[in-house]
Amino acid sequence: MKRKQMMGAIISKKSSKKADKADLPPPPPALEAKAELVGSSGGVSEGSDVLANFLGMGEWRAAKVVKVHTDGSLDILYSHGVKEVKVGASRTKATGDGTNDQVAEAKDTKKAKAAAAAAPPEGEEEGPLVVDADIILRADEAKLFRLLLRASQERGLGTTLRVAGGWVRDKLLEAGGHWAVKGLPAGSQSVDTSQIDIDVALDNMVGAAFADEVNDWLQHKGRQTKSVAIVAKNPEKSKHLETATMKISGFSLDFVNLRTETYTDEASRIPSMAIGSPAEDALRRDLTINALFYNINTGKVEDWTRRGLADLRGRVVRTPLPARTTFLDDPLRVLRAVRFAGRLGFTVDEELLGAASSKEVHQALLLKVSRERIGSEVEGMMAGRAPLHSFHIIVGLGLGPIVFPFPPMMTEPPPPPMRVFQTSLLHMTHMTALLEGGAQRMRAHLPPTDLEKRMGLYAAFLWPFRHLRYSPLDGTGRKKGRQGARTEGVIYFLMQEMLKRPARERKAVETIQRAAEQFSALVAKREYGPVGRAELGRALVEAGELWQVAMLMGLAVDQSRARGDGTCESEMSLSYVKYHMGWMRKYEALAREIEALGLVGVWDMKPLVDGNAMKEIFRNIPKGKAFTELMDAQKEWMLEHQEGTREQLVTHLTQEFQDFL
């Protein structure tokens, strides 16, 4: 049930009901319509109009059949431009009598609700929606804001200080009633705002100038000044504003001016920036829920887009301007929208979906955004509340080949991207369910840490890439890998070159994948007889402290193989559940045997005879391969003989390697 809930729809325009803090919001109800399953004998042909369960996430959308496969599955194209391939029969419905009218009626109703939410209140046509919230700041926040106000006022700056972005959004969603805003879902989110950077928008000067004024005020008051870091703008990479960063009272503050922009050259997408008004700045932000301001001078919340508060209530991710305009301004906003939808459990506006799946936006994301920024957003998704939801959206929008591209110079032709990413989602679905509560025995010894969970999810999604290799090129176009290697693994390319993750995380993912394959082989071997302690020990040495995550990865892969068709369609039949429970029992039995044999921690096993002592015993052994084989033989013997002594080991080795005595 938990896994099924994880697959609930976040890509829809309907808002979900208030959820328990520990669970994701329930999926919106499917459109009620008379329909019948479309099967291989359902009379569906290319060009047929159908309703399809979008990404298997619970919302039925209008689509057109573009190909019918011999196994009865369909390639379909949704009305907003997203294409899915090999969609199973249980995810498609024929449009029966009246169904199209109901779909149209539902769309009209949604449009009417959206228009009503965006419309200004009666009698108020211009300016922001201002919320006179009963805001209770924490003591350290109130002290910080008083300091900034005093500096501005006593220096005669006349500046209106507005906190912008995530701090305001998360304060409004914060549990516990700190910000009791009428109409917002009380306690709907649990957010730790103490760890959030504070962005302060200025209406009459740039960030660096204000930071200097704050330091001058501090110096005049006999207080210690703060260092200021300037983050330069980089228009070519969609970083249009210079930002001044400083730390005060433990808070990391980013000062930046409100902005407006004009395009002096029609052929260029790089705007000319100037200090703007709050409305101009808010409309140029990524999402309406991130465009809210807290006016420090007045103590009120301002909604200049006139949609931000409504979208918080409706739990919708939407852009202030037309989505295409917003995404071409900064294509990274596509991934930010995905991240916030996953993190907050919000639905995604349909116009946003259409723009985010367009080739024009995809090309802009590929060319204008650095891999560091893309990697940072992906890591934010992975560390967030619902990474599986976020990755479903990435694949559904066709962003998989951009975020996780195949490298050039592959040693063999890569498989079709859609098939790869559907398999990736299938593995990630099973891994998510297991990490959240499945296979308790494998988690009992030491529950996986947050880092191990993230590495496990990376390993699951990147599983189809694990054996693929490519020939890397150096700066001159010559083939060159690490330490002169002629080929390199695609996991290295994706984790370090594309996502810019540290080498230790890439190694962890590779370790989990290798060990998972070993555990899967051991589970299969145990079906025909016992497995030796040494063989189990080798798998534990390979996995190290990641052994539990690696076992869960092996289980997830074996559960995925049970499907056999490479799709992500959910099946909850009794035979299907029994089959999966059978796999779980096999892995739990293996985990119990590992613990019973005392193998947990074997990866830290110290050799009974160290290298120098071994050279004294085997004086004629050459360096290199022969010596490595000798040390490996020692490790193998120690794994097999848990209570063995040094003398017994030496006796065994002298018999095996007597030529080197």
pLDDT given at position 86: 74
**pLDDT confidence tier of residue 135, bands split at 50, 70 and 90:** low
* Residue 129 pLDDT: 80
Q: Tell me how long the chain is.
A: 661
Distance separating alpha carbons of residues 399 and 382, to the nearest angstrom: 16
User: Which run of H or of E encompasses 400?
Assistant: helix 400-403
Contacts with 587 (C-beta within 8 Å, 6 or more apart), sequence order: 439, 442, 519, 523, 551, 554, 555, 558
Statement: residue 21 has pLDDT above 80: no
How does residue 285 score in pLDDT terms, banded at 50, 70 and 90? very high
Q: Look at residue 62 and give its three-state secondary structure.
A: strand
Q: Is the dihedral of CA 190, 399, 458, 373 positive or negative?
A: negative
pLDDT tens-place string over residues 343-383? 888 999 999 999 999 999 999 999 999 999 999 999 999 98
* Phi and psi angles of residue 631, each rounded to the nearest 5 degrees, phi first: -65, -35
pLDDT at residue number 427: 95
What does the pLDDT read at residue 615? 86
Top-confidence residue, 466 or 120: 466
> Could you give the angle at the alpha carbon of 500 between the alpha carbons of 497 and 505, nearest 5°?
105
Give mean pLDDT, residues 199-206: 94
Whole-angstrom distance, CA of residue 363 vs CA of residue 352: 16
Q: Domains plus CATH for the chain? A: 48-94 (2.30.30.140), 129-314 (3.30.460.10), 325-403 (1.10.110.30), 427-480+487-564+576-603 (no CATH), 611-660 (no CATH)
Counting other chains too, the contacts that 305-311 makes at CB distance below 8 Å and 24 or more residues apart are 306/118, 306/119, 306/120, 306/128, 306/129, 307/117, 307/118, 308/282, 309/129, 309/131, 309/172, 309/181, 309/183, 309/184, 310/117, 310/118, 311/117, 311/287
Distance CA 435, CA 412 (A): 34
Q: What pLDDT digit, counting tens, does each position of 554-602 carry?
A: 999 998 875 544 443 444 556 767 777 888 889 989 998 998 998 988 8
Query: Minimum mean pLDDT among 20-34, 56-70, 384-398: which range?
Result: 20-34
Q: Would you state the pLDDT for residue 87?
A: 79
CA distances from residue 224 to 214, 218, 230, 250 in whole angstroms, order as listed: 11, 6, 19, 14
Please give the Cα distance from 361 to 397 (Å, whole number).
11
The single residue listed with the structure tokens 């150096």 is 474
The mean per-residue pLDDT over the stretch 322-331 comes to 93
Determine the average pLDDT of the residues in 491-505: 96
First CA to last CA distance, the chain: 63
Distances from the Cα of 371 to the Cα of 72, 309, 374, 378, 498, angstroms = 40, 33, 5, 10, 6
Instruction: With beta carbons less than 8 A apart as the criterion, state whether 457 and 382 touch.
Output: yes
Q: Is the pLDDT of residue 538 over 50?
A: yes
Task: Report if pTM > 0.95.
Answer: no
Query: Who wins on pLDDT, 355 or 165?
Result: 355
Q: What is the pLDDT of residue 438?
A: 60
- Give the strand pairing for 134-135 and 92-94: unpaired
SS3 467: coil
Question: Can you tell me whether residue 500 is helix, strand or coil?
Answer: coil
Contact 499, 375 (CB under 8 A): yes
Of the chain, the percentage scoring pLDDT greater than 70 comes to: 73
Helix 333-344 and helix 387-396: axis angle, to 10°?
Answer: 140
Q: Which helix (H) or strand (E) holds 86?
A: strand 83-87
Name residue, tokens 């204000």. 210
What pLDDT is stored for residue 70 in this prediction?
82
Per-residue confidence (pLDDT) for residue 381, from 0 to 100: 94
Tokens 């790089």, residue?
Answer: 270
Q: Is 396 helix (H, G, I), strand (E, B) or coil?
A: helix
What confidence score (pLDDT) does residue 96 get? 57
Is the separation of the CB atoms in 599 and 537 below 8 Å? Answer: yes
Greater confidence (272 vs 334) lies with 334
pLDDT at 57: 55
Q: What average pLDDT does range 93-104 have in this prediction?
A: 54
The two three-digit tokens of residue 458, written as one number: 């990376």
- Which residues pair with residue 544 across a beta bridge? none
Helix (H) or strand (E) holding 253: strand 251-257
Concatenated DSSP letters for 317-385?
A: E--SS-HHHHHHH-TTHHHHHHHHHHHHT-EE-HHHHHHHTSHHHHHHHHHHS-HHHHHHHHHHHHTSS
Based on its alpha-carbon atoms, the radius of gyration of the chain, rounded to whole angstroms, reads 29
Lowest mean pLDDT among 44-58, 283-297, 537-551, 587-601: 44-58
Q: Is 482 helix (H, G, I), strand (E, B) or coil?
A: helix
In this prediction, residues 508-522 reach a mean pLDDT of 96
CA 514 vs. chain centroid, Å, equals: 23
Instruction: Identify the burial level of 461 via C-beta atoms within 10 angstroms of its C-beta, where 0-12 means exposed, 13-18 middle and 19 or more buried.
Output: buried
Q: Which of 208-212, 234-238, 650-654 has the highest mean pLDDT?
A: 208-212
List pLDDT tens digits, range 621-634: 888 888 888 888 88
Which of 129, 138, 139 is CA-nearest to residue 279?
A: 129
Give the integer Cα–Cα distance in Å for 463 and 205: 50
In the chain, pLDDT over 90 holds for what percent of residues? Answer: 43
pLDDT value at residue 467:
95
Q: How confident is the model at residue 79 (pLDDT cuts 50, 70, 90)?
A: low
DSSP 448: P
Q: Is the dihedral of CA 169, 171, 176, 181 positive or negative?
A: negative
Query: What is residue 170's predicted lDDT score, i.e. its pLDDT?
Result: 87
- pLDDT > 50? residue 324: yes
- Three-state SS annotation for 415-479: CCHHHHHHHHHHHHHHHHHHHHCCCHHHHHCCCCCHHHHHHHHHHHHCHHHCCCEECCECCCCCE
> For position 42, what pLDDT does the model report?
54
Task: Give which of 252, 258, 222, 256 is closest to 242, Cα–Cα.
Answer: 256
Spatial separation of the C-alpha atoms in residues 354 and 324, rounded to whole Å: 9
Q: What is the pLDDT of residue 184?
A: 43
Residues in a beta bridge with 473: 479
pLDDT-based confidence at residue 489 (cuts at 50, 70, 90) = very high
Structure tokens at 236: 């070519």
pLDDT > 60? residue 303: yes
CB 409 within 8 A of CB 472: yes
pLDDT in tens, 103-124: 444 444 444 444 444 444 444 4
> Which one is predicted more confidently, 617 or 338?
338
3-class SS of residue 93 = strand
195 burial type by CB count under 10 A (0-12 exposed, 13-18 middle, 19+ buried): exposed
Q: What is the mean pLDDT of the chain?
A: 79
Highest mean pLDDT (candidates 59-73, 206-220, 224-238): 206-220
